[in-house]
Amino acid sequence: MKVVAGALVCVLLASAPRLAVAAEPAPKIDLSVPEQGPPVARTHHVHEGFYLRVSLGVGALGTDYDLGEPSAESHGGTLGLDVLVGGTPSTGLAIGGALLSEAGVSHNVEQGGRSLSDTNVRLTLLGPFVDGFFDPKGGFHLGGAVGLAALAVQDLKAEDETDTLTGFGGAAWAGYDAWVAREWAMGGLVRVGGAITRKSADSGDITAQSFSLGLMLTVLNH
């Protein structure tokens, strides 16, 4: 009996570690999915930051002059060049300074139904601008500018001199820009503008009202 009891004790002692190991719970597999972080904001093809637009195009410029009775007028084609530099206080909205200019050669000046001369005309506008995009990642935009205007007219009174009239003016445009690189876009726009300018001289005051329409190709860094 003692021999049998000793054998049972030995068997129990030998199996005790195995029973303890078997009693331990099996490891669990973590199938949970971590919460997603905020989306990564796009850093290109978004209208934000520094703004530079250069536009070149063709158009037409018409001006009515008050030289006394009867009044005179000139009209003809022009070449336009615009430079706009600024920043973006809010995504998709740019503000800054604009220099808009257009020049015409051999505009016909008429007074009282008769032609006075062919004259060179240049209209320049300098002032603040705003340009807004319907979609900060898209291309459609509307803009406008106001500021000081200068109208230079050559041989207006057939006196072989250039009259420079100063005043105020404005312009508005609509267009579309297509992305061609990380921060660069190209497109086109239609611009309309107007100005009221005046010059006082010993020979008499000159007042002019100008209206322009242009179609321009544009390059944008934004």
Domains of the chain: 51-221 (2.40.160.20)
Distance of CA 60 to the CA centre of its chain: 23
User: In 10 A of CB 48, how many CB atoms?
Assistant: 19
Higher-pLDDT residue of 159, 177: 177
Could you tell me the two tokens for 164?
């420079």
Query: Can you say whether residue 147 is alpha, beta or left, with left for phi > 0 and alpha for psi between -120 and 50 degrees?
Result: left
pLDDT tens digits along 82-134: 999 999 999 999 999 999 999 998 888 887 766 766 788 999 999 999 999 99
What confidence tens digit (pLDDT) does each residue in 43-97 have? Answer: 578 999 999 999 999 999 999 988 776 688 888 999 999 999 999 999 999 999 9
pLDDT at 19: 45
pTM of the model: 0.77
Dump pLDDT digits (tens) for 185-221.
999 999 999 999 999 876 678 899 999 999 999 999 9
Helix (H/G/I), strand (E/B), else coil: 24:
coil
DSSP letter (8 states) at residue 137: T
Per-residue b/e over 188-210, b at no fewer than 16 CB within 10 Å? ebebebbbebebeeeeeebbbbb
Written as one string, the DSSP assignment of 39-105 is PPPP-SSS--S-EEEEEEEEEEEEEEEESSSSPEEEEEEEEEEEEEEEEEEETTEEEEEEEEEEEEE
User: In terms of residues, how long is the chain?
Assistant: 222
Instruction: Report whether pLDDT(9) > 80.
Output: no
Query: Residue 84's closest CA among 25, 43, 144, 33?
Result: 144
Tell me what the mean pLDDT of segment 165-171 comes to. Answer: 97
Closest Cα to residue 212, out of 46, 17, 61, 93? 61
The closest alpha carbon to 62, from 185, 155, 195, belongs to 195
Please list, residue by residue across 114-131, b when 16 or more beta carbons sit within 10 angstroms of its beta carbon and e when fewer do: eebbebbbbbbbebebeb
Q: Give the whole-angstrom CA distance, residue 28 versus residue 197.
A: 84
In the predicted model, what is the mean pLDDT of the chain?
85
Helix (H, G, I), strand (E, B) or coil at 2: helix
pLDDT tens digit sequence for 132-151 = 999 999 999 999 999 999 99
**Predicted local distance difference test score (pLDDT) of residue 220:** 97
